[in-house]
Chain A
Amino acid sequence: MKQEIGIMESKAIVITSGKGGVGKTTTTANLGVALALLEKKVVVIDADIGLRNLDMILGLENRIVYDLVHVIEKRCKLHQALIRDKNVKNLWLLPAAQTRDKDDVSPEQMLELTETLKKEFDYILIDSPAGIEGGFRNAVAGADIAIVVTTPEVSAVRDVDRVIGLLEASEKGQPKLIINRIKPDMVKKGDMMDASAILQILAVELLGIVPDDENMVAYTNRGEPAALSNRSPAGKAYRDIALRLEGRKVDFLSTDGEKGGFLRGLKKLVGMD
């Protein structure tokens, strides 16, 4: 039994953002891969019922037989719906239902599901749909902690601020932030907000900065997440995030060319200095 052997408690983490298209699913997939590469047993859950996505990022779309709704409606056993990743042996996927919608699941059912999964997995990563309605509430229900994802654009930051407020009010505590698609060249020219500007505005703990990586589309095309590649800067960023979740201190990506100054300032902001 896991509880007898384990020293670390299982963690259920929801990955959400408010705004769509900022990288929740990509983050869930790559973080799942990165944690599994650290020998953790990980299940990633696609909670975007009706709009399946996580399966394609992982290249598992042809292996789906049962899904989240089948499990919740007890029309199949949990293990029949879990799909083992083709690249990383410690990673499993619980796909979303494609022909149902978000009303077919309740927050209580999601909580029951994650409690069951905690007996077997070190990490449960829940990929939230965009928005702040029922699908979001379902995704959050089973989580212990939340990761919020934003890009350095005004709409995304505004939306994630709202989500942070909702998460704090729902007693999930303060979420941790991932800033996705930072372009150091644009930051240097003053055309893109840098991480410290975003942190000053949002005032949450920074978990990671993922640089814009022009190869991300190719990784998705192939169904091979970037975190598997040693050549991908985004992949490295996700692996660093996994290390931080595991309690290791890893320097953040420098995004303004002035490595010492930025990092020192950033470390101060996140209490690492």
Chain B
Amino acid sequence: MNYIKALFKPKARSADIARERLKIILHHERRSIDSPLLEQLKEEIIKVITKFVEVDQTHIEINLKKGGDVEILDVTVPITNNPLQTH
């Protein structure tokens, strides 16, 4: 029934699209100004992963978290096309 839903979905106004795009890109850019090394790390991780699988770049999350005594690098990468076989 998705195609019927799509017919009735109002065409998004360009101003709303602009607003959403800006929110995403500025959220990303503001964080990268605070921690340039982390940004570099992110870029290299994404480069390596995209050699093997196709990913959704806009939803990649790479964060440093505190986990007890250690810091944890938490990496979440949504895969859109997975040629790696998992059983």
Chain A residues within 8 Å of B, Cβ to Cβ? 153-154, 157-158, 161-162, 165, 187, 189-194, 197, 200-201
A201 touches B26 (CB 8 A): yes
CB of A153, distance to nearest CB on chain B (Å): 8
Out of A162, A190, A193, A197, name the residue touching B29 (CB < 8 Å).
Answer: A162
Neighbouring B residues of A161 by C-beta, 8 Å: 26, 29-30
A187 touches B15 (CB 8 A): yes
Neighbouring B residues of A165 by C-beta, 8 Å: 30, 33
Report the nearest B residue to A162, measured CB to CB. Answer: B29
B18 touches A154 (CB 8 A): yes
How far, in whole Å, are A217 and B29 apart by their CA atoms in the complex?
35
Neighbouring A residues of B23 by C-beta, 8 Å: 201
Number of B residues contacting the other chain (C-beta, 8 Å)? 14
Report the nearest B residue to A202, measured CB to CB. Answer: B26
Add 16 more A-B contacts to A189-B13, A201-B19 (CB < 8 A): A154-B18, A154-B21, A154-B22, A157-B22, A158-B26, A158-B29, A161-B26, A161-B29, A162-B33, A165-B30, A165-B33, A187-B15, A191-B14, A192-B15, A197-B15, A201-B23
Q: How many contacts between A and B, using CB within 8 angstroms?
A: 37
Neighbouring B residues of A201 by C-beta, 8 Å: 19, 22-23, 26
CB of A212, distance to nearest CB on chain B (Å): 15
Neighbouring A residues of B22 by C-beta, 8 Å: 154, 157-158, 201
Q: B27-69 interface mask toward A, CB cutoff 8 Å, 1 = contact, 0 = none?
A: 0011001000000000000000000000000000000000000
Give the dominant DSSP class at A's interface. helix
How far, in whole Å, are A158 and B21 apart by their CA atoms in the complex?
10
- Say yes or no for B16: interface residue by CB 8 A criterion: yes
- With A165-B33, A193-B19 as contacts: A158 and B25 at CB distance below 8 Å: yes
B14 touches A190 (CB 8 A): yes
CB of B27, distance to nearest CB on chain A (Å): 10
5 A-B interface contacts by CB (under 8 A): A158-B29, A165-B30, A193-B18, A197-B19, A201-B26
How far, in whole Å, are A194 and B13 apart by their CA atoms in the complex?
12
How far, in whole Å, are A201 and B23 apart by their CA atoms in the complex?
6
Neighbouring A residues of B29 by C-beta, 8 Å: 158, 161-162
How far, in whole Å, are A157 and B23 apart by their CA atoms in the complex?
10
Kindly name the residue among A154, A162, A189 whose own CB sees the greatest number of chain B CB atoms within 10 A: A154
Closest 9 interchain pairs by CB? A190-B13, A197-B19, A193-B15, A190-B15, A154-B18, A161-B26, A201-B22, A191-B14, A193-B18
CB of A140, distance to nearest CB on chain B (Å): 17
How far, in whole Å, are A162 and B25 apart by their CA atoms in the complex?
12
How far, in whole Å, are A4 and B76 apart by their CA atoms in the complex?
63
Neighbouring B residues of A191 by C-beta, 8 Å: 13-15
Neighbouring B residues of A153 by C-beta, 8 Å: 18
Neighbouring A residues of B33 by C-beta, 8 Å: 162, 165
CB of B28, distance to nearest CB on chain A (Å): 11
Neighbouring A residues of B16 by C-beta, 8 Å: 190
How far, in whole Å, are A17 and B62 apart by their CA atoms in the complex?
31
CB of A238, distance to nearest CB on chain B (Å): 25
CB of A137, distance to nearest CB on chain B (Å): 17
Neighbouring B residues of A190 by C-beta, 8 Å: 13-16
Neighbouring A residues of B26 by C-beta, 8 Å: 158, 161, 201
